[in-house]
Amino acid sequence: MRGAVRTSALSVLVGLLALVPALALTPPSGTGFQPDNLLLGVLAGVGAVRGFRATRGMTGRTALTWRLMAGAGALFSLASLITGSGAAGSFGVAGVGDLLLVAVLCIPLLVCALLAGQVRTSGWSTLLVDAGTVVLALSVVADVFVLSAPGLTHPPTALVVGYTGYAVLAVGLAGALCTATTRELQGSATAVVGATVLIAAAVAMLAVGIDRPVLLWQALGDVACVLCFEAGVVAVLLSPRHPSAPDDVVARSPRVNPAGLLITVAATFGLPVALLVALARGQAIGPWSTFAVSAVVVLLLVRSTLRIRTSTRLVEDLVRNEEDFRDLVEGSTDGVVILDEDLRLRFASPAARGLLGLPAGPDGVDRGLLDLLLAEDRDEVARRLAEGGAATLHLRVPGTDRPTELEVTQPERRSHGRRVLHLRDVTVRLRRERELERMAYTDHLTRLPNRALLFQELAGPAAERCLLVVDLDGFKAVNDVAGHEAGDQLLVDVARRLRTVVRDQDVVCRLGGDEFAVVVEGTLTEAREAAQRVVDILALPHRTGGFTFAIGASVGLAEVHAGGSQLAFRQADTALRAAKRAGKGCVRVWADDADTGDAGGSVTTALATGQVVLRCSIAGQQDQPLRAVHVEAFWAHPSGALLPPAELWAAAGRQGAAAALQSWVLTEATRQLADLPELALLALDLPAGHVQADRLVDDVLGALAASGLPAARLSLALTEEAILTGTAELVPALHELRAHGVRLCLDDFGLGQTLYAHVARVPFTSVRIDVSALGGRGDTEQTTTVVRAIVASAEVLGLTTVAHGVDPGPLLDAVLACGVRMVRTRADLRHVPVERAREELGAPAADVRILTG
């Protein structure tokens, strides 16, 4: 459109500049060769071509209207070329040019009538009355100021009267017919009115020039013609390419055209002004003016009658539409409400009242919409409504059992500060959609997230995470022995156990069959610890279908990198296969050569050749000079891998070397560390499933006697699993050891199922907690609350609390403040050789390295 405006402005400028020399060459008499008419012919022809091009693609009445407009330009071009060449008489002298000009002058009036017919509210009787009133009023003005004006050199000729009459008729009809137009035709109608007024002005200048042949009138008439041509082209360009749909209320809504209104008002006020001027200068009112004034009065009376009838009809239509609207709204199952600028209800249909919890009847409407919603939704709904637009939003209204959920749509257009909302109850639909979504992402048996949700979780924002793929060992035997129903019950129990050994932010999923996965937030070290807890908890006996099964689990572990969900799963699955090859019941980490090797080889040979080594972890507190050492046995495998204790004990159990390994660990640990006076406590683990209860007392007492280590400085730690999987001799053996002064520690306190029952059976002296497995990651307050509860319950039972799995920082300070007696925090003092432990414990007091700072 901007390009069209620039083209029109350039065309007008070029035409006016070219008109200057053309007028200079035109004879004042207006006869013979007339360069100005030739130029007007060329300009009119160019305008006609542009107008016809603009109508391409138009159809129906729209195409007819604007092609008539372009045709008028073509006829005027032909008439101007004929008169300008001197082949015929000039305008004003009866000839071919005037005949063509008559046809040209009729076309704009026909275009105005076609535009008026497109307004729905236009009645032809009203339009004709208005047109007659305006034309008659303008004719009186023309008679007083032009045709009967004092000072005329001679009476006006019939041609002058005809041109003047046309100008009055054209301006009056254009103004009356185009006062009301549709919204889509507003611009085009204004341009048509302008073109009609300009062509009337040109005709008027021609009439004056006939009476007073001066070049000025001819120049003014030519300028009016140039502007008229471009106004006609603009009218075509502003028109819509295709007519709007009949049901497009916005496009077809009536609008007042300022140009037509100006002409109507000017004619109405011009009539009394002309009469006053004639009276002031003593000018006689001619017969025509007298008749015209009388006719205007009569037409005004007729117009008043038509207006009253039209108003009555509009009121009836309004009342009928109001009744139809109320019947439609009140009978609809969807609710409709009208709000003011303050979001207060101004109208609510019966259905809307029920949805919003309002009483039936007219009472209670003047209430704020936000007051009817849930408090937590009000700010968001207010913001969305303030933004406007046609977007759908949801409201929640308090209900008896659960909130009622409403889907709300609002029209994009608002007026007078009001807005209409359409409400629909979608509570059932949304509940079904949520249930379907839950079913799509949930395993139906265990109620855990499924494979689809796992990959969606892995594809989330990048964070330090690891993936554990868990496969049950020996699960097929459960189905074969106890049946598939018992197998399903065992899978449910596995899911429950997995949820108990991970933190709240970790995600447990079932992949299918007897495969599970865990997404652990945190470092690889934290994931290793979580994986070992999984192996330990799933090794506990499972009771189902009247049977007790001792199955286990193998775990593959891989780090999750940004955008590498599929890669992480493949890596974890590869590590899982390596764990299966290593003898099951163990953890393997992808790309960690020490953990993905095969654990084949003889444990007995390893003990004889020195492949089994001791590693120490030192614990204590900053203000205590004495330290505790936790000793574990690792296997320096010939493959180069340093296998963790769990795999060493698993291999010993498979090879029948568990008794030899138990005796070796007790003997070597006490022998190598007994002579350290700074050693407050030597802690050893009794591995679940591998404790040789029948030899335990002899092994412990023999090791203490050989090393000289006091029994009170030895602490044996065992988990709930070790108690459950141990033989009947285990508990009596523990009682006997406690009677000799050996300390007993319950490991992973707070993570099992029947801890207090074990405390009642076994004379424990301390409990050990894994802080990393308690509470949520980063939630210091929750973790501290759990630790404080454990410490309090342990103190009631006369037990000392030891902690691990916590790094220096606010959480460590909070754990110590809860009453924990000893804690292991320094990463560089975990799993170190015995020699390093001796150096650390033998250092002078001033050089003791701070463990908790």
Cα Rg of the chain (Å, integer): 51
Of 353-357, 657-661, 758-762, which range is least confident? 353-357
Name the most confidently modeled range: 107-111, 213-217, 600-604, 685-689: 685-689
Report yes or no on 326 lying in a domain.
Answer: no
Distance of CA 379 to the CA centre of its chain: 17
585 shares a domain with 679: no
656 shares a domain with 576: no
Strand segments, DSSP code E, in 497-626 are: 507-512, 515-521, 542-544, 547-549, 552-560, 587-589, 612-619
Q: How confident is the model at residue 1 (pLDDT cuts 50, 70, 90)?
A: low
Contacts of residue 218, Cβ cutoff 8 Å, sequence gap at least 6: 23, 26, 28, 30, 36, 205, 209
The residue with greater pLDDT, 390 or 536, is: 536
Report yes or no on 325 lying in a domain.
Answer: no
The pLDDT score that the predictor gives to residue 472 is: 92
677 shares a domain with 821: yes
Contacts of residue 308, Cβ cutoff 8 Å, sequence gap at least 6: none
Q: How confident is the model at residue 87 (pLDDT cuts 50, 70, 90)?
A: low
Q: How confident is the model at residue 598 (pLDDT cuts 50, 70, 90)?
A: very low
Strands 254-256 vs 335-339: parallel, antiparallel or unpaired: unpaired
Report yes or no on 202 lying in a domain.
Answer: yes
CA distances from 589 to 267, 466, 636, 809 (A): 96, 10, 17, 28
Determine the angle formed by the axes of helices 658-673 and 645-655, rounding to 10 degrees. Answer: 140
Mean pLDDT of all residues in 812-818: 85
Q: Hey, what are 433's tokens?
A: 């959609």
The pLDDT score that the predictor gives to residue 594 is: 41
| Three-state SS sequence of 791-832 | HHHHHHCCCEEEEECCCCCHHHHHHHHCCCCEEECCHHHCCE
Cα–Cα distance for residue pair 702/670, rounded to 1 Å: 10
472 shares a domain with 417: no
523 shares a domain with 407: no
Amino acid sitting at position 206: L
Eight-class DSSP state of 853: -
92 shares a domain with 36: yes
Contacts of residue 750, Cβ cutoff 8 Å, sequence gap at least 6: 769, 774, 786, 790
Distance of CA 622 to the CA centre of its chain: 52
The pLDDT score that the predictor gives to residue 593 is: 42
Model confidence pLDDT, tens digit, residues 546-563: 787 878 899 999 998 876
**What percentage of the chain exceeds 90 in pLDDT?**
15
Q: How confident is the model at residue 98 (pLDDT cuts 50, 70, 90)?
A: low
The SS3 assignment for 717 reads: strand
Report yes or no on 215 lying in a domain.
Answer: yes
CATH code at position 337: 3.30.450.20
161 shares a domain with 286: yes
Q: How confident is the model at residue 663 (pLDDT cuts 50, 70, 90)?
A: very high
617 shares a domain with 545: no
| Residues 457 and 519 sit within 8 Å (Cβ to Cβ) | yes
Eight-class DSSP state of 283: P
Phi, psi of 779 (to 5 degrees): -95, 80
Domain that holds residue 32: 2-243+251-307
pTM for the whole structure:
0.43
The CA-based angle 478-481-483, given to 5 degrees, is 75
The pLDDT score that the predictor gives to residue 441 is: 77
Q: Is the pLDDT of residue 840 over 60?
A: yes
Q: Is the pLDDT of residue 446 over 80?
A: yes
DSSP string, 509-535: EEEETTEEEEEEES-HHHHHHHHHHHH
Model confidence pLDDT, tens digit, residues 371-410: 788 888 888 888 877 776 656 777 888 876 778 888 887 7
Report yes or no on 20 lying in a domain.
Answer: yes
Cα–Cα distance for residue pair 236/231, rounded to 1 Å: 9
CATH code at position 546: 3.30.70.270
Model confidence pLDDT, tens digit, residues 265-322: 888 888 888 888 888 887 778 888 888 888 888 887 887 787 777 777 767 777 777 7
Which of 573, 595, 617 corresponds to the end of one domain? Answer: 595
539 shares a domain with 489: yes
Report yes or no on 205 lying in a domain.
Answer: yes
Of 139-143, 411-415, 658-662, which range is least confident? 411-415
Report yes or no on 313 lying in a domain.
Answer: no
| Residues 603 and 645 sit within 8 Å (Cβ to Cβ) | no
Q: Hey, what are 726's tokens?
A: 């141990």
Which of 431, 457, 485 corresponds to the end of one domain? Answer: 431
Cα–Cα distance for residue pair 637/640, rounded to 1 Å: 6
Amino acid sitting at position 518: V
Amino acid sitting at position 835: E
Cα–Cα distance for residue pair 397/382, rounded to 1 Å: 15
Cα–Cα distance for residue pair 48/44, rounded to 1 Å: 6
Q: Hey, what are 269's tokens?
A: 């006020």
548 shares a domain with 527: yes
Q: How confident is the model at residue 665 (pLDDT cuts 50, 70, 90)?
A: very high
452 shares a domain with 419: no
Place of tokens 């006016």: 16
Helix and strand numbers, DSSP H then E, in the chain: 30, 23
Place of tokens 């275009």: 111
Name the most confidently modeled range: 62-66, 282-286, 563-567, 656-660: 656-660
| Mean of all residue pLDDT scores within the chain | 80
Report yes or no on 613 lying in a domain.
Answer: yes
**What percentage of the chain exceeds 70 in pLDDT?**
84
The pLDDT score that the predictor gives to residue 191 is: 85
The SS3 assignment for 498 reads: helix
Which of 545, 578, 595 corresponds to the end of one domain? Answer: 595
The pLDDT score that the predictor gives to residue 393 is: 79
Cα–Cα distance for residue pair 628/446, rounded to 1 Å: 42
624 shares a domain with 557: no
Burial of 371 (0-12, 13-18, 19+ CB in 10 A): exposed
Q: Hey, what are 542's tokens?
A: 């499972």
The pLDDT score that the predictor gives to residue 622 is: 60
Domain count, the chain: 4
Q: Is the pLDDT of residue 485 over 60?
A: yes
Mean pLDDT of all residues in 700-718: 93
Model confidence pLDDT, tens digit, residues 112-132: 788 777 766 556 677 778 778
Of 245-254, 674-683, 731-740, which range is least confident? 245-254
Model confidence pLDDT, tens digit, residues 341-359: 778 887 788 887 777 878 7
CATH code at position 641: 3.20.20.450
Phi, psi of 718 (to 5 degrees): -145, 155
